[in-house]
Amino acid sequence: MTVTRWLVIALAAAVLGSADPSRPVEVTAVARDGRINVSCVLAGVRLDELDEPIRAGLTTSITFDADLRRPLWWFDRTMASASVVASVRHDTLTGRYQLTRTIDGRTDDTLVTNDAGAARKFLAGFARLALFSTADLQPNVEYLVLVKVRTRPRVAWSFWPWESGAVSGSARFTFIP
């Protein structure tokens, strides 16, 4: 085979491999009212491995690191970054769960509940958080929001064999003011 044929095969494999519809992280992004609202759900991820550390009373968190990027040919230019951390701490004496969500270190939401299912749902994602501004975006240009997800304490998730246990998802949108 010629070098050109190998390059075509490698490029096709890379494109087809990145178009996996069964992504464990579902991301949506909508530009509205001068902000980019991002939603993220751990769709294909089972959180059962986190039950043991939560029941033991350890503060358990899932970090969503989001980047706003402008795709430029082969490279993406990162325009802004944000970090959303969802934490749960189980009080073993009262049986209550203390839930906290922070955005870039600032507390966004807190909740106390007795429901383990509500705690699990709180950890599994967020909806319509205004993470970025549209001030620096150009009209009619495509942008990408990439979200990488990781846990603390780390658990050995067999379907996350790359980058220190992190998985990612992305959403593309065209900015129309």
- The residue type found at 110 is T
Quick: pLDDT tens for 18-40. 334 456 899 999 999 999 999 99
> What percent of the chain has pLDDT above 90?
62
What phi and psi values does residue 170 have, to the nearest 5 degrees?
Answer: -145, 160
Residue 66 has pLDDT above 70, yes or no: yes
Taking the domains of the chain in order of start, what are their residue ranges? 23-175
Residue 162 has pLDDT above 60, yes or no: no
Residue 8 DSSP code: H
What is the reported pLDDT for 48? 75
Residue 160 has pLDDT above 90, yes or no: no
Residue 50 DSSP code: G
What is the reported pLDDT for 16? 30
| Residue 104 to residues 5, 82, 86, 93, 125, Cα–Cα distance (Å) | 46, 6, 11, 31, 16
